[in-house]
């Protein structure tokens, strides 16, 4: 190796090591209790909760995480501090649940689908047309269904605090309008890791691909993928609409989040602060029910203004045709999901589909 190359290589290694040490130091120090805090005279020990998520700050989950952090600070008078890390800057969506269980991060809020391989009963929330209206979602999240799902996490070293909502998913593609299930034949679609979602696309003759959220844009742009399904706020904030020509407002599935904290870390938090944290997470959920609907509506308007994407809205009749088409998935997954949750589904749907809500 020439001397000049050797010197450049050594310099590069030296700089990399310094950067790694600095990053490691700042991350570790944020995990340690703080014994002194200039702004909070008298705080002898502050509990730090690092909260990692994968979406942008201007999304329902991004705003909820920040609101939750503010509420926790106010309720605990600064004794508990939530540090929010958006955009997958700490962990990608493929890593965050394992990182939480190992205790490498204290809080995450993955989309439901990402919990389905750990807890198969969570597949219930991926069933197409599970909810018809936002009211149905709220009733299920705050009722028995939400309670059962959160309790199931206990045995996996996870304390489930609450459920947060984002919104109904819509379909986008580059290959043509998606009006009937046969329009999906042969198209490569990005899905979140979930067997229900895989089956949903396979039923239509599409080719599902499990791809991390922060790789979707690039794969759409290079045409490795033809399409994807997501909420308007995710389609907007990640600019998927700029690399897709067609969007169908199908409301065929729902995307929300489990708000999770490492169980061992949780058990060590003094009871009074646990109550404050729970209250903060639930107050954030209540706020989010309205906020996310507003946000998805506003961002749909912006997508219409800022792009030439062709938007098709399914008619009531088409919507009903899609719903019937996917009905066999309920039978197929009822074994994994279990009777208790399937009974809740029936109860919720009978309140919505037959009587309106
Ligand atoms: C996705 O992967 O599409 C979503 O989980 C992103 C998110 O967290 O909203």
pLDDT digits (tens, 9 = 90+) for 209-224: 999 999 999 999 999 9
pTM score:
0.86
The residue among 156 and 8 whose pLDDT is bigger is 156
Q: Which runs of E-coded beta strand occur in the chain?
A: 47-52, 80-85, 107-108, 158-173, 188-191, 207-210, 227-230, 246-262, 310-313
**How many angstroms is it from 210 CA to the middle of ligand 1?**
12
Q: Which band of pLDDT confidence, cut at 50, 70 and 90, is reported for residue 17?
A: very low
Q: Which band of pLDDT confidence, cut at 50, 70 and 90, is reported for residue 352?
A: confident
- Pocket lining: 52 vs ligand 1, CB cutoff 6 Å: no
- Please report the atom of ligand 1 found closest to the CA of residue 114: 5
**How many angstroms is it from 240 CA to the middle of ligand 1?**
13
**How many angstroms is it from 355 CA to the middle of ligand 1?**
32
Output the pLDDT for position 243.
98
**How many angstroms is it from 217 CA to the middle of ligand 1?**
12
Q: Which band of pLDDT confidence, cut at 50, 70 and 90, is reported for residue 8?
A: low
Distance CA 278, CA 284 (A): 10
What count of other Cβ atoms lies within 10 Å of the Cβ of residue 323?
A: 14
Mean pLDDT confidence for 280-301? 97
Output the pLDDT for position 11.
52
Strand partners, 230: 170
Residue 60 CA from chain centroid, whole number = 10
Pocket probe for ligand 1: among 213, 235, 258, the residue whose CB has the most ligand atoms within 8 Å is: 213
Pocket probe for ligand 1: among 88, 93, 256, the residue whose CB has the most ligand atoms within 8 Å is: 93
- Pocket lining: 169 vs ligand 1, CB cutoff 6 Å: no
Output the pLDDT for position 3.
45
* Domains of the chain, first to last: 45-355 (3.40.190.170)
The residue among 15 and 296 whose pLDDT is bigger is 296
DSSP string, 16-79: HHHHHHHHHHHHHHHHSPBS--TTSTT---BEEEEEE-SS-TTSHHHHHHHHHHHHHHHHTTTS
- Pocket lining: 111 vs ligand 1, CB cutoff 6 Å: yes
Strand partners, 169: 253
């Amino acid at each position: 190796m020439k001397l000049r190359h050797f010197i450049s290589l050594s310099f590069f290694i030296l700089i990399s090591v310094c950067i790694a040490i600095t990053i490691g130091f700042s991350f570790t120090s944020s995990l340690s209790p703080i014994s002194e805090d200039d702004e909070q005279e008298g705080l002898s020990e502050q509990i730090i909760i690092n909260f990692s998520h994968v979406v942008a700050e201007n999304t329902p989950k991004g705003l909820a995480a920040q609101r939750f952090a503010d509420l926790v600070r106010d309720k605990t008078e600064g004794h508990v501090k939530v540090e929010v890390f958006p955009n997958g800057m700490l962990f990608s969506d493929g890593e965050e649940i394992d990182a939480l269980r190992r205790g490498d991060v204290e809080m995450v809020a993955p989309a439901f689908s990402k919990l389905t391989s750990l807890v198969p009963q969570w597949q219930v929330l991926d069933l197409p047309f599970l909810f018809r209206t936002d009211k149905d979602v709220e009733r299920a999240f705050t009722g028995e269904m939400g309670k059962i799902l959160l309790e199931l996490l206990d045995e996996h070293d996870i304390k489930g605090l609450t459920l947060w909502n984002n919104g109904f998913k819509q379909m986008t593609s580059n290959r043509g309008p998606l009006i009937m299930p046969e329009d999906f034949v042969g198209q490569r679609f990005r899905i979140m890791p979930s067997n229900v979602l895989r089956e949903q696309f396979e039923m239509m003759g599409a080719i599902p691909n499990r791809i991390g959220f922060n790789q979707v844009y690039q794969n759409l742009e290079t045409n490795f993928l033809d399409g994807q399904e997501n909420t308007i706020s995710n389609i907007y904030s990640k600019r998927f609409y700029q690399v897709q020509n067609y969007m169908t407002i199908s409301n065929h599935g729902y995307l929300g989040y489990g708000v999770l904290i490492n169980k061992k870390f949780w058990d060590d938090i003094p009871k009074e602060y646990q109550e404050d944290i729970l209250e903060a997470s639930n107050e954030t959920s209540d706020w989010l029910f309205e906020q996310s609907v507003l946000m998805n509506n506003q961002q749909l308007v912006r997508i219409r203004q800022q792009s030439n994407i062709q938007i098709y809205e399914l008619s009531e009749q088409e919507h009903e045709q899609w719903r019937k088409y996917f009905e066999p998935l309920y039978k197929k997954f009822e074994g994994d999901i279990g009777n208790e949750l399937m009974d809740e589904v029936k109860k919720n749907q009978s309140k919505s589909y037959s009587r309106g809500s």
